[in-house]
């Protein structure tokens, strides 16, 4: 599980669409399409929660038996690699 408390970069232009978010990163001139789950993860990357805490929120939001810790960690890692979140 990824450590730290990920935080969404403030300079992003986030737009809600029917199937998630479209995020424009002007600094990198890149557009990202996030599904509903990735959009929730990005929202909860506010610098106050660990990746494990975000996984627990997903568990509650989707009524899952177990927290999707591996999947959440992979999502946060990908968001970090794409420059959408940093370690808070």
Q: What is the CATH number of the domain that holds 31?
A: 3.90.930.60
1 falls within a domain? no
| pLDDT value of position 1 | 53
The b-or-e profile of 24-38 (16+ CB within 10 A means b, else e) is ebeeeeeebebeebb
Element housing 8 (H / E): strand 6-8
| pLDDT value of position 23 | 98
User: Distance (Å, rounded) from C-alpha 47 to C-alpha 7?
Assistant: 4
41 falls within a domain? yes
Domain count, the chain: 1
78 falls within a domain? yes
26 falls within a domain? yes
Q: Give me the domain span that covers residue 75.
A: 6-87
pLDDT truncated to tens, each residue of the chain (88 aa)?
556 899 999 999 999 999 999 999 999 999 999 999 999 999 999 999 999 999 999 999 999 999 999 999 999 999 999 999 998 6
- Evaluate if pTM is beyond 0.75: yes
């Amino acid at each position: 599980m990824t450590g730290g408390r990920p935080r969404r970069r403030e300079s992003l232009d986030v737009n809600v669409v029917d199937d998630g978010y479209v995020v424009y990163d002007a600094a990198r001139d890149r557009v990202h399409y996030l599904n509903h789950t990735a959009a929730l993860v990005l929202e909860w990357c506010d610098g106050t929660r660990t990746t494990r805490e975000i996984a627990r929120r997903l568990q509650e939001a989707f009524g899952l038996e177990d927290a999707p810790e591996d999947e959440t960690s992979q999502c946060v890692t990908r968001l970090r690699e794409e420059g959408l979140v940093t370690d808070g």
